[in-house]
Amino acid sequence: MTTVRGTSMDIPTQDSTADAYLAHPDDGSPHPGVLFYMDAFGIRPHLKKMADRLAEAGYTVLVPNVFYRHGRAPVVELPDFIDPARRPEIFERIGPVIQSLTPGPAMCDADAYLTWLTDCPLTTDGPVGITGYCMGAGLALRTAGTYPERVAAMAGFHGGRLATDAADSPHLLADRITAELYFGHADQDPSLPSEQIKRLDEALDSAGVRHRSEVYTGAHHGFTQADTAAYDSTADERYWKALMALLDRTL
């Protein structure tokens, strides 16, 4: 079994400094880079375990705190098990933070994260893979469209608002994407109704983007997050297989 080293990092950005978690095989060798976009709850033990699992498979994984403008992680204090139905104040606090991360600053940050990964001696040369969860899926899609020459693969899971009517919806970047994409959608997810899934697929098809879009039956928004009430072990196992296959194929 591969030994993994996980460390806290600081990533210089245009505005300030983003704290981050870095996981990589502890062998001193460079490995393909993966930019891991967090869900709304942010960097916490479960997300670090997910990054460690990717590192164990042979990747150098960077998990930035995309909410760093509001403080170092955890930006919002969280219980060990997150059930928003019982703790509605969690989303009341996180909601304004999410809304404050607009596309302009987010993509300036993405440039910093990709640059750091490229320059890191623990990362091999060439484009990276991206995986994103919840709001992170939208950031991943937007990054793939904003920096196409730097991204070889992108996977998004239980993403929300990926193909809205807004003028800055991430799906509108489809014609710039060169990476191979995979989406694992939750069919019990009000943040991504069927019409948005259709709009996303049509945009990617029209642009000739290599992609696969799957709807996980019975899964809820957040199904990959084992420390939340939305976790679905069957969907989680399916997600890991799909993600590993994509990264192994492209990186």
pLDDT digits (tens, 9 = 90+) for 147-184: 999 999 999 999 999 999 999 999 999 999 999 999 99
Mean pLDDT, residues 19-45 taken together: 98
Which CATH number does the domain housing residue 225 bear? 3.40.50.1820
> Considering the chain, what is the average pLDDT of its residues?
97
- Report the domain count for the chain: 1
The predicted structure's pLDDT at residue 87: 87
Which helix (H) or strand (E) is 47 found in, with range?
Answer: helix 45-56
230 pLDDT more than 90: yes
What is the pLDDT confidence band of residue 85, given thresholds at 50, 70 and 90? Answer: confident
Question: Per-residue pLDDT tens for 47-82?
Answer: 999 999 999 999 999 999 999 999 999 999 999 999
Q: What percent of the chain has pLDDT over 70?
A: 100
pTM (2 d.p.):
0.98
Cβ contact 219:122 at 8 Å: no
pLDDT > 90? residue 132: yes
pLDDT the model gives residue 1:
77
Range of the domain at 83: 4-250
Contacts of 239 (CB under 8 A, 6+ apart): 157, 184, 216, 223, 224
Q: Residue 237: which H helix or E strand, with range?
A: helix 233-250
Measured distance between the N- and C-terminal CA atoms of the chain, rounded to whole angstroms: 21
Average pLDDT over residues 8-24: 97
Q: What share of the chain is helix, strand, coil (3-state, %, to 5)?
A: 40, 25, 35
Question: Above 90 in pLDDT, residue 84?
Answer: no
Instruction: Tell me what percent of the residues of the chain surpass a pLDDT of 90.
Output: 97
Nearest to 141 by CA among 201, 227, 75: 201
DSSP string, 101-139: --HHHHHHHHHHHHHHHHH-TTB-SS-EEEEEETHHHHH
